[in-house]
Amino acid sequence: MAGQKEQFEFINGIRGLAALQVVLLHFCAIFFPAFARVAQEGNYPLESVLSHTPLFFLIDGYTAVFIFFLMSGFVLAGAFDNKVQQLPAQTLKRFIRLFLPVAVSAVFALGLFFAFQGAKEHTQAVTGSPWAAWLYHIDTAPLALLREIGLNSMLLGYGGQSIFSNWSVLSLPAISTSSNPPLWTLHIEFWGSLLVLFLAAARNLLARSVFIGIFCCALLVTGTGQFSLFLLGFVAYHSRERWLSREFNPTIGIILLFIGVLMSSLLGTWASGTLLRALASITYAQATSPEQFRDILTAIVIMLGICLSSPLRRLASARPLRWLGKISFSLYLVHFPILFTLGCSVFNVVFTRSTMLPAILTTFIVILPLLLLIASLFERYVDQPAIRLAGHLVRATDRSHSLLQRSN
């Protein structure tokens, strides 16, 4: 078990790097919108040029989100394996483990929003980011806030970003009204978790041939969409002995990583669009655009490259990256409201005394350490207690079930 745990440490390192990419993407989307690909023109001529070079990969939070889903499928396949008798308990555990931090982060975001109202508007007027102008129009009606925290943040999601988007009866709000827009991925994460749980149960309870049939059907249904990444992560976990025990030529993994960086940075969408159209005839769910499908494919290639290269896995297992991975979930949950409130406030104060670039650099120097500090505190006092509570409730459920069986 110790050796296996050590082998999987690289997952934490990748998770930490992916979370940092998301933070950097959102920072640049406010202050360097063309570099972040949220605007045709930015504040500096080099932005558009750099957005199509390998430097863009440093802030490629688009691909990073899909890497999260791949890693979730991998990790959850191991967590759910041989626990098929606990389906309700495991569902409850996963719900509590995700929902408590998500709900606290939503309340935290609302508190910052009310404390720093107008900060984003002043910053956006200077930077001209259309992305910043579109987001953070929070519906402050009490019922809307309760629905935001209790339902939309994880269970129902937001219009266009939800598995229930076609259910008009739900009247899902636009993500632009969310107090913490990145929570749309937690909606995918939760339902993707249940998909992995179902597959784990099918694998343990059914004949191999029947399970393979079910898995193939699931792959055709998830198609080119985001949920297919959970399935691929599931496969990666159950084939781990093959690629972890074998010594592949490290060059193969490095080449795949390089190809992934090029796909992220340089390539257009002709290839991904052509493939997307071809697969649409045999699959049900589809990526929302050729750009999204390109990012999904990029995530797969990058993860494959790292998994097949033991030097890359060792590099991703470095202690600083593992620490970043430890707080990555908390960093993901808290970074956006902090950027849009405290970050914008710092920029506004400095900008009144200097020009734009010094104000941006000062904001980055102040906010990044603050983000890491708050994420570390959030991980200790919110995320870890949520994990312990979820585990405690599952154990209590198991004990009650065992006592009931003995009494019968």
Let me know: does 153 contact 180? Beta carbons within 8 Å: yes
d(C-alpha 32, C-alpha 131), whole Å: 11
d(C-alpha 311, C-alpha 305), whole Å: 11
Let me know: does 252 contact 309? Beta carbons within 8 Å: yes
Say which amino acid occupies 330: S
Mean pLDDT in consecutive groups of 10 residues from the start of the chain, 408 residues? 59 96 98 96 93 95 97 93 76 94 95 94 96 93 91 93 90 93 96 96 93 97 96 94 78 94 87 94 94 96 93 93 96 97 97 96 98 98 95 75 59
- For the chain, what is the domain count? 1
pTM more than 0.85: yes
Using DSSP's 3-state secondary structure scheme, residue 174 falls into strand
pLDDT the model gives residue 166: 87
d(C-alpha 299, C-alpha 378), whole Å: 28
pLDDT digits (tens, 9 = 90+) for 218-269: 999 999 999 999 999 999 999 988 877 777 788 999 999 999 999 998 877 8
pLDDT the model gives residue 168: 87
* Sequence-separated (6 or more) residues with CB below 8 Å from residue 271: 294
Helix 9-31, helix 319-326: angle, nearest 10: 70
How far, in Å, are 20, 57, 188, 218, 246 from residue 285 at the CA level? Answer: 29, 27, 14, 10, 34
d(C-alpha 319, C-alpha 25), whole Å: 24
d(C-alpha 275, C-alpha 254), whole Å: 25
d(C-alpha 57, C-alpha 49), whole Å: 13
pLDDT the model gives residue 406: 62
pLDDT digits (tens, 9 = 90+) for 146-160: 999 999 999 999 998
Residue in this structure with the two tokens 């060792």, named with its chain if needed: 314
- Tallying the residues shown for the chain, one arrives at 408
174 strand-pairing partners: 159
Residue in this structure with the two tokens 């650099």, named with its chain if needed: 361
Backbone angles phi, psi at 159, to 5 degrees: -55, 130
Largest Cα span, the chain: 76
pLDDT the model gives residue 404: 55
pLDDT the model gives residue 185: 96
Determine the Cα angle at 315 with ends 312 and 320, to 5°: 150
Using DSSP's 3-state secondary structure scheme, residue 247 falls into coil
Show the tokens assigned to 346: 């710092």
pLDDT the model gives residue 327: 97
* Sequence-separated (6 or more) residues with CB below 8 Å from residue 298: 60, 63, 66, 260, 263, 264
Show the tokens assigned to 25: 């993407």
pLDDT the model gives residue 394: 78
Could you tell me the residue range of the domain that residue 323 belongs to?
Answer: 2-407
